[in-house]
Chains A and B, each alone.
Chain A
Amino acid sequence: MNWQKLERTETAKIIQRVSETPDGVLFSKSTSEATAAVLSFYRGFNLVRLTNYATLPSFTLDFLSDGSSFYLLDGSPDPLNRVSARGALVLNDQNVIDYVDFFFSHVTTEEGDIFLVRDPNALPFMSSLSLDQQIQVKKHHADPVVEYDRENDVFLVHAVMYFAGVLLRATLTVQPDGQIEISNHAMLMAAGGVH
């Protein structure tokens, strides 16, 4: 993620907007910093991160923002859906994998986080797997492949995923509004062992 630190005045404006909430105290102008990153699949919306360095560990909240509206990334698909409903999502075969990766990075489930495996060595949990499991993850790895289904106007991403301790290959159907559905799954490695 290519984060850019925002100017003090811009940071102050964002904190002013966020401080209108009951938990505005989470971020004070003197101890907080705002950074932003451009996302290739959003038009007019950036990822904005507010961090309060006065505490340890520091408090961090991420938002999708067009400068006036701030959609808190709250672990559910709702904020992404709301931004998409504003017409900001522009998917193409070049950015759809980045979108899926972003979606899984910010949406979590009762069973835990979902990982799109783009580089097995970069997986945050890799070191917690047994050596045998690490070998299996690397052996089964294949780069995600994108296909456009013209008839249904959807992107199909064929990829390896890791979820709830299970490594699987699946097809992710990505709708133009950003909703994702998983199908054609095949287990590559079961939870706690090798399939």
Chain B
Amino acid sequence: MSDLIAKLNKALKPKGTSGPQGTFRHENEAEILDAAKKLLAKSHFGRELLTYADTKKLEMHVLRNKKDFGYLPENSAIYISCPAGQSMPPARAVIHLAGAIRKAYQEVDGSIPTPSVQVGRERFSRQLVEKSTDSSLYQTIVVYELVQNTGLLEILDEFDRMGYRSLYEAYALKQAEPEGKKEE
């Protein structure tokens, strides 16, 4: 408990890592993205996402922030975020990167575009849920494959922190079923 309070007090002290203006980018952007991409490449679906990002020349950036971001069509860029002065474990970054690339795919490919409010409330809500479900599914598959391929259990803790543990468990259960039943 005292260790936790010591860590907390250290985190509350100013670090001098951020400037008032100039850039919103994280000071460790290159390292965070490099580690996340290397890890993503260890998953089959992750490699597909990376290939897609390369093909479409999607920029990738890490913002100094505590909120999650996504895809911005104006500059074909993917944004993930990490608070200033903190490192972002690859196990966390890879989940956000996978989700953001998939969100880019939804828009660029036009498979699940951002709905307009003019389509009506019901369809608008349905499309929003569909977008969210689709990117969460890809994140779940990447997490599952990384656990299977690398034994990286830390990524499960990160997924749990995001509130998605049940998605992983449901997907893992489905994968454990015999082939015939899986396709039902």
Q: Which residues of A contact B (CB under 8 A)?
A: 17, 20-23, 25-26, 28, 52, 54-57, 59-61, 69-72, 74-79, 81-82, 103, 106-114, 128, 163-164, 166, 168, 170, 179-183, 185, 187
| Cβ of B114 under 8 Å from chain A | yes
Q: Which of B30-38, B83-91, B172-180 contacts A (4 or more CB under 8 A)?
A: B83-91
Q: Which residue of A lies closest to B85 (CB)?
A: A76
Return A172 CB to nearest CB of chain B, in Å.
Answer: 9
Return B107 CB to nearest CB of chain A, in Å.
Answer: 9
- With a CB–CB cut-off of 8 A, which chain B residues contact A163? 4, 8
Alpha-carbon distance between A128 and B66 when the two chains are bound, in angstroms: 20
Between A and B, how many residue pairs show CB distances below 8 Å?
A: 141
Query: Are the C-beta atoms of A55 and B12 separated by less than 8 Å?
Result: no
- With a CB–CB cut-off of 8 A, which chain A residues contact B21? 17, 20-21, 69-70, 72
Interface residues on B, range: 35 or more
User: Most chain-A CB neighbours within 10 Å: which of B8, B18, B71?
Assistant: B8
Alpha-carbon distance between A57 and B80 when the two chains are bound, in angstroms: 12
Query: Are the C-beta atoms of B13 and A75 separated by less than 8 Å?
Result: no
Q: Could you list 8 examples of A-B contacts with CB < 8 Å?
A: A52-B72, A57-B70, A74-B65, A74-B66, A78-B17, A79-B20, A170-B5, A182-B8
Return B137 CB to nearest CB of chain A, in Å.
Answer: 17
| Cβ of B110 under 8 Å from chain A | no
- With a CB–CB cut-off of 8 A, which chain A residues contact B24? 21-23, 26, 61, 72, 74
Given contacts A23-B23, A23-B24, A70-B21, contact A78 B16 (CB under 8 A): yes
| Binary CB contact string for chain B from 22 to 44 against chain A (1 if under 8 A, 0 otherwise) | 11110000000000000000000
- With a CB–CB cut-off of 8 A, which chain B residues contact A79? 18, 20
| Cβ of B14 under 8 Å from chain A | yes
Partner of B83, one of A71, A75, A182: A75
